[in-house]
Amino acid sequence: MSLYTPAHFANAERAAAARLMHDHPFATLVTPASPEPMISHLPLLLVPGCEPHGELIGHVARANPHWRHAGGAESIAIFHGPHAYVSPSWYAKPAQAVPTWNYATVHAHATMELVEDPAEARGILDTLVGRFESTRPQPWRFAMEERARDALVGAIVAFRLRIRHIEAKFKLSQNRPATDRARVVTALDAEGHPDAAAVAAWMRAWVDLTPER
């Protein structure tokens, strides 16, 4: 499976893909299987410094059969970034355009390695909890007795996804004139909802908004 990505919307910058995976860690994991592919929705954390493309860590419930199918096939972790509707009324010449949708997404093609060691699995759990609790005024921590925690760890399957290839598609009006791109950013900011504001922010970060001379 490959991601349809016209040249306008391809983004080869590793920093851009890493930023999207970090900021939007709730992913869709797809693994080929018969008679239907296995699909799970779960948080995946990118581990920096793992070459050549990095790795993702996560876990599923042991009762979820997904992990049993993932060992011998390449999976795809799909990260959904910000997205928003774009009205042709925002362009300089709206009568010559049609509505569209701006969005950013990353597909990480990877192979799953199951974590068999309970201590390593606990470490992955701690990393996940730390990521999402660390900014809270009173972060939650595992406070249960060790036996209960061991039972909890036994009920999940932790894994690492070794990334083989990354596809990044940032469809952010790059196919429009710079004047239109700037108008889209302004209009998205005026929409008054978080998704639109997030798309505007990503356009500022990754799209050239400099007017043509």
Instruction: Taking residues 88-97, report their average pLDDT.
Output: 94
Largest Cα span, the chain? 69
% of residues, the chain, pLDDT over 90: 78
Domain-located, residue 60: yes
Instruction: Taking residues 68-95, report their average pLDDT.
Output: 93
Q: Which residues form the domain of 154?
A: 7-202
Say yes or no to pLDDT of 151 above 70: yes
Say yes or no to pLDDT of 149 above 80: yes
Domain-located, residue 212: no
Tokens linked to 42 = 């779960």
Give me the pLDDT at residue 182, please: 95
Domain-located, residue 207: no
* CATH number of the domain to which 196 belongs: 2.30.110.10
Counting other chains too, the contacts that 6-12 makes at CB distance below 8 Å and 24 or more residues apart are 6/175, 8/174, 8/175, 9/169, 9/170, 9/171, 9/172, 9/174, 9/175, 10/168, 10/169, 11/168, 11/169, 11/170, 11/206, 12/168
DSSP string, 135-169: TSSS-----S-HHHHHHHHHTEEEEEEEEEEEEEE
Model's pTM, two decimal places?
A: 0.92
Domain-located, residue 100: yes
**Start-to-end C-alpha separation, the chain:** 41
